[in-house]
Copies of this chain bind each other. A is one copy, B any other.
Amino acid sequence: MKGAGVKGQDTQHALRRRNLSRVLRTVAAAGTVSRAGIAERTGLTRAGVAPLVDELLRLGLLVEAGRAATGGRGRPGSGLAVSDRGPAGIGAEIGVDHLAVCAVDLRGRVRARVAADAANRHSAPGPVLRRLSALLMQVTAEIAAEGLRPAGLTVAVPGLVARGSATVVHAPNLGWRDADLTPGLTGATGTSGAPVPLSVDNEAHLGALAELRLGGGADGLAPPTDFVHVSAESGIGAAVVVDGQLLRGARGFAGELGHVPVYPDGRPCGCGGRGCLEQYAGEQAVLRAAGLTPEQAAAAHPGPGARIALLARRAADGDAATTGALHEAGTALGIALAGAVNMLDPRTVVLGGALARLAPWILPSLEGELALRTAVAPAAARPGGPLVAVSRLGADGPLLGAAHGALRAVLDDPVTADARAHPPHR
C-alpha cells in the first residue's frame, strides 16, 4: 500500500463506479432479484453488494420490489428492481416522410411515443429539426409527469454519420450533406436546462443494435450475436454485427448494402454508380415495378409507412405486378447478400424495417439466390437454424435501438448520469 496515495484512491473510486454499473446492469437484466442473487451473479461478496445497493437506492435507480409484492408490508430488501422513474433514454427518428420520438425507462418499457407525418425529402435540416424538437419537448413533458427525465438522446437518420460525431455527412434521400445536428437539437430535451448527451447514428446501425439487445426468435431464441442486419425505409441499409459488436467501419460508413453492385451494367444510380441494389430493391424501384407512383401510393394509404403498407396489402390481395416486383427485389437482395455472406460468414441474416413486413413475398427469391451463391462450403457445415430470419422489431427497430442506446450512459456510470438525469429523491 506504501506510496499508493492519490492514485490508489482514484483506482478505488473507479472500481466503485464499475461495481455500481455491474449491480445496476445485473438488476436490469434480472427483473427482480435479491441482494444475495446480485452477489451470486456478479461474483461480489454480499458484504460488498450491500453498500452498492444502498447507493443505487439513494440515487433512485433501484427500488425495493419485495415490499410492493407483499402488499405494502413485507420484508424490505427481499427484492430489488430498477426504477420506473428517474432516467429515460430518448430515441428519435428522422425518416424521409415521418418523424418519431420515444422514451424508454430503465426497465426497457416504452413510456411515451409520438410520431408525425413529415415531408422531409429535400427539406433543409433547420425546419426538420424544429419539428423534431417540438416532438421531443412533447415527450419530455409527458414523461416528466411520470417522474422521468431524459438521460440522453440518440437520433436515427437515413444516412452516413461520421464516426463519433453528430454530423450527417450524406443523407441522399433527405438531401443533407455535412449537417451537424447539435445546434438544432440543443435544449430540445433539457426541461431543467441541463444539457443531455446527444448521439446521432445511422438508422440501420441502430436497428441492428436493437436486434442485438431486444431481438431473437418468437420461440424464445436468444438474440443473435453474429449477423448481417438489413433494413429499408426509402433506401436500403445494413449493419454487420460480429461477436456482439457493431462493425462501424473506419469512417463510420459500413453497411452501405444499397450501393453494392448487383447488375454491374444495370440502371444508373444517384450515387454515380450503376446497378446498385437500391435501383432494384429500394422502395421507389419496387413501387415503379409494381406500377405505382409514390403519389398514388401516398394518396391511397396516408401516414407513416404508407407505401410499404400499400405494397403489403396489394401483395396479400395477390396483385401480380406487386408480387412480381417483390420477387425481383428479393432476387436482387439475395445477390447482394450472397456477396456479404461469402465475405463475412455470419450466422444469420436478419431482415428488419420495412423488409420484415414484406418478407412473405421477398424471402423465397432471396433465399433461393443465397442458397445458389453461397454453396462453396458444404451445407452440412452450416450449423443450426435457418440462415435468414425476420426481425420481430420490424420498422420499430431503429427508434427502439436509439432509445436503448441513449440509456447506456446511465448503465455504464450511474453516478455521473444520475447527476444529470435524476431529480433529488424523496
Ranked 10 nearest A-B pairs via Cβ: A249-B345, A256-B342, A260-B339, A250-B347, A254-B345, A271-B376, A273-B373, A253-B345, A272-B375, A339-B339
A343, B276: Cα distance in complex, Å: 13
Residue A172 lies at the interface, judged by CB distance under 8 Å to chain B: yes
Complex: chain B residue closest to A344, CB-CB: B254
Residue A190 lies at the interface, judged by CB distance under 8 Å to chain B: no
Contacts of A383 in B (CB 8 A): 251
Say whether A170 contacts B254, CB under 8 Å: no
Say whether B372 contacts A274, CB under 8 Å: yes
Total A residues in contact with B, Cβ cutoff 8 Å: 55
Contacts of A172 in B (CB 8 A): 376
Contacts of A162 in B (CB 8 A): 381
Contacts of A177 in B (CB 8 A): 378
Interface flags, A152-175, vs B, CB<8A=1, else 0? 000000001010000001101000
Most chain B CB neighbours (cut-off 10 Å) among A162, A254, A264, A272? A264
Say whether B338 contacts A260, CB under 8 Å: yes
Contacts of A272 in B (CB 8 A): 372, 375
Say whether B169 contacts A377, CB under 8 Å: yes
A342 and B377 in contact, given A251-B382, A372-B272 (Cβ under 8 angstroms): no
Contacts of A276 in B (CB 8 A): 373
Residue A257 lies at the interface, judged by CB distance under 8 Å to chain B: yes
**Shortest CB distance A340–B (Å):** 5
Residue A247 lies at the interface, judged by CB distance under 8 Å to chain B: yes
Say whether B261 contacts A344, CB under 8 Å: no
Contacts of A258 in B (CB 8 A): 376
Residue A404 lies at the interface, judged by CB distance under 8 Å to chain B: no
Say whether B377 contacts A344, CB under 8 Å: no
Residue A252 lies at the interface, judged by CB distance under 8 Å to chain B: yes
**Shortest CB distance A97–B (Å):** 21
16 A-B contacts (beta carbon < 8 Å)? A160-B377, A169-B377, A169-B381, A172-B376, A249-B345, A250-B346, A253-B345, A256-B342, A256-B376, A261-B335, A261-B339, A261-B373, A263-B264, A273-B373, A273-B374, A273-B375
Say whether B376 contacts A259, CB under 8 Å: yes
Say whether A374 contacts B338, CB under 8 Å: no
**Shortest CB distance A418–B (Å):** 32
Which of B242, B251, B335, B374 has a CB less than 8 Å from the CB of A345?
Answer: B251
**Shortest CB distance A134–B (Å):** 31
10 more A-B residue pairs beyond the given contacts A249-B344, A253-B381, A261-B335, with a C-beta to C-beta distance below 8 A: A247-B247, A248-B345, A249-B345, A251-B345, A258-B376, A259-B342, A260-B343, A261-B373, A273-B375, A339-B343
Say whether B250 contacts A378, CB under 8 Å: no
Residue A336 lies at the interface, judged by CB distance under 8 Å to chain B: yes
Say whether B271 contacts A375, CB under 8 Å: yes
Say whether B376 contacts A345, CB under 8 Å: no
Complex: chain B residue closest to A345, CB-CB: B249
A376, B335: Cα distance in complex, Å: 20
Say whether A340 contacts B338, CB under 8 Å: no
Residue A328 lies at the interface, judged by CB distance under 8 Å to chain B: no
A208, B11: Cα distance in complex, Å: 39
**Shortest CB distance A344–B (Å):** 5
A383, B251: Cα distance in complex, Å: 8
**Shortest CB distance A401–B (Å):** 19
Complex: chain B residue closest to A272, CB-CB: B375
Q: Please provide the chain A residues from 179 to 223 with a CB less than 8 Å away from any CB of chain B in the complex.
A: none
A338, B340: Cα distance in complex, Å: 11
Residue A233 lies at the interface, judged by CB distance under 8 Å to chain B: no
Residue A226 lies at the interface, judged by CB distance under 8 Å to chain B: yes
Complex: chain B residue closest to A255, CB-CB: B343
Complex: chain B residue closest to A238, CB-CB: B343
A126, B381: Cα distance in complex, Å: 23
A373, B177: Cα distance in complex, Å: 19
Say whether B378 contacts A170, CB under 8 Å: yes
Q: Please provide the chain A residues from 305 to 363 with a CB less than 8 Å away from any CB of chain B in the complex.
A: 335-336, 338-340, 342-347
Contacts of A250 in B (CB 8 A): 226, 345-347
